[in-house]
Amino acid sequence: MFILNIKQFEEFNLYKAKQFVDYWNNKYRNDSVKVLISDEVIDYVEELNLGNNLSEQNIKRLLRWKDPIRLTEKILSGPNEGKENKKVLKVIENIDYFNEFRQDKISEKEFKFITEKIFPTGFVWQIFLFHIARPFEYPIADQNVFRAFSIQKRTKEPVDWGGYKDYIDYFFQIAKSSGISLGKPKGYESDIKEIVKKLKNVDNALFAFGQFLRSYGK
């Protein structure tokens, strides 16, 4: 599942899930994203504000962390440089829905309708809104993790909600088989954060593996 042998790229062996996550998580390289006009590095886990409601600051920083070019609260270049980013404003305007969904006060279907209004054409961004509301149920998505999923499950990369649901199953099979407790924990805040960090390691591994597949060969 993780050995650099082209014949084994498609191997999906859950008995090797922990080895896969440990190996590829160590290959993960991501530039640290800083708070706008600051040297402070955005702390992804802290900004999820687990156990509490998301604040405007949490959401602004998480969006910038996800896509610092297109989802920073201010336009960074061009004729509108310095102006408010309408994409980010749209998210903030709907902050109550995020917290209602986090608290199970609205359904997945209702929240999906909200995310589609916010990002009509941004499927991966829609998923990220689900993720920051309920990170224990909705893993982060991007072209790299979808590429890893596509190769190992021998299927097309997800382009809609049905495909993402299949990716969720794949993601949590790996998480569970690598020894991570699933479901939202009911315990100390430090325990909750630790599980989210472990889930992020799975995401890191799939991201790094997907990048490798792109650079190594098709």
Residue (of 10, 15, 4, 17) closest to 154 by Cα position: 10
In whole angstroms, give the CA distance from residue 113 to residue 176: 30
Average pLDDT over residues 183-206: 81
The pLDDT value given to residue 185:
59
Residue 209: pLDDT over 90: yes
**Six-digit token pair at 57?**
């600051």
Cα–chain-centroid distance for residue 206? 11
The pLDDT value given to residue 135:
95
Cα–chain-centroid distance for residue 196? 11
In whole angstroms, give the CA distance from residue 208 to residue 201: 10
Q: How confident is the model at residue 29 (pLDDT cuts 50, 70, 90)?
A: confident
Taking a C-beta distance cutoff of 8 angstroms, is the pair 97, 109 a contact?
no
The pLDDT value given to residue 183:
64
Residue type, 26: N
Residue 188: pLDDT over 70: no
Whether the pTM exceeds 0.75: the reply is yes
CA 15-159-94 angle, to 5 degrees, is: 105
| Mean pLDDT of all residues belonging to the chain | 91
Burial category of 121 from C-beta neighbours within 10 Å (exposed 0-12, middle 13-18, buried 19 and up): exposed
Percent of the chain residues topping a pLDDT of 90: 78
Residue 161: pLDDT over 90: yes
Residue 44: pLDDT over 70: yes
Residue 52: pLDDT over 70: yes
Residue spans of the domains in the chain: they are 1-31+136-218, 51-134
Residue 180 contacts by C-beta under 8 Å, 6 or more apart in sequence? Answer: 195, 198, 199, 202
Residue 25: pLDDT over 80: yes
pLDDT digits over 68-127, tens only? 999 999 999 889 888 999 999 999 999 999 999 999 999 999 999 999 999 999 999 999
